């Protein structure tokens, strides 16, 4: 869709950068409304007395006119479906175009121990240390990059992308369950 997403918060640029990295990278720009503090949030009428903004979505069309406003409870996530409906109305032909091509089905690697993880998850880091410490050779798959692998993890983990998840010669272990790992790997 011919749409640009912009995130905005009152955080500083280095803070947003570190946060985006901790989330494994965010591809759309996160904008820093840090100085003068909250000025843009104020212009849009969503700066709270506490000094940070509401959780709010504005859709601005190509003419620069606001087409949708949603200010929601601060602990709730926005309603993505509603946002897509508004965007489809603005750009009807965009929806007629074929959507994303299906993910190529990457085959499951044939290694004895496959670790499904992400680059940022702290438990994955501990799992790598655990495997190294016990001298276990393993193959690692970053499910943030390999979406076909992410789909396999969702099948095993009740629809969640739980990391780490292990495939040990066909035995699946969801999460870093050390006792179960030792049992399946035949460790003391």
**Interface ranges with other proteins (CB under 8 A):** 1-11, 13, 15-17, 19-20, 22, 26, 29-33, 39-41, 43-46, 48, 52-69, 71, 74-75, 78, 83, 87, 90-91
Q: How far is the CB of 121 from other proteins (least distance, A)?
A: 16
Cβ atoms within 10 Å of 2's Cβ, excluding its own: 9
Please state, in angstroms and rounded to a whole number, the distance separating the CA atoms of residues 52 and 11: 9
Q: How far is the CB of 118 from other proteins (least distance, A)?
A: 17
Please state, in angstroms and rounded to a whole number, the distance separating the CA atoms of residues 136 and 152: 23
Q: Output the six-digit token pair for 167.
A: 């495939």
| Closer residue to other proteins in complex, CB, 75/179 | 75
- In which residue are the tokens 């299906």 written? 102
| Closer residue to other proteins in complex, CB, 34/138 | 34
| Closer residue to other proteins in complex, CB, 102/122 | 122
Q: Output the six-digit token pair for 181.
A: 């790992």
132 touches 124 (CB < 8 A): no
Under 8 Å CB-to-CB from 30, ≥6 apart: which residues? 7, 8, 9, 16, 19, 20
Nearest-CA neighbor of 164 among 187, 186, 181? 181
Q: How far is the CB of 26 from other proteins (least distance, A)?
A: 7
| Closer residue to other proteins in complex, CB, 51/147 | 51
Q: How far is the CB of 88 from other proteins (least distance, A)?
A: 11
Q: How far is the CB of 67 from other proteins (least distance, A)?
A: 6
| Closer residue to other proteins in complex, CB, 19/126 | 19
């Amino acid at each position: 869709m011919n749409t640009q997403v912009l995130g905005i918060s009152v955080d500083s640029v280095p803070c947003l950068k570190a946060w985006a990295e901790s989330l494994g990278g965010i591809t759309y720009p996160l904008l820093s409304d840090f100085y003068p503090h909250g000025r843009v949030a104020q212009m849009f009428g969503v700066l709270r007395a506490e000094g940070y903004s509401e959780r709010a979505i504005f859709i601005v069309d190509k003419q620069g006119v606001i087409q949708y406003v949603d200010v929601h409870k601060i602990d709730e996530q926005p309603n993505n479906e509603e946002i897509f409906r508004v965007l489809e109305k603005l750009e009807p032909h965009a929806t007629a175009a074929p959507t994303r091509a299906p993910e190529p089905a990457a085959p499951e690697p044939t290694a004895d121990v496959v670790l499904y993880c992400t680059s940022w998850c702290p438990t994955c880091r501990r799992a790598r240390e655990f495997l190294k410490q016990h001298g276990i050779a393993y193959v690692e798959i970053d499910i943030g990059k390999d979406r076909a692998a992410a789909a396999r993890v969702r099948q095993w983990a009740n629809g969640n992308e739980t990391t780490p998840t292990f495939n040990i010669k066909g035995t699946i272990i969801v999460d870093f369950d050390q006792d179960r790992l030792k049992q399946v790997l035949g460790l003391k």
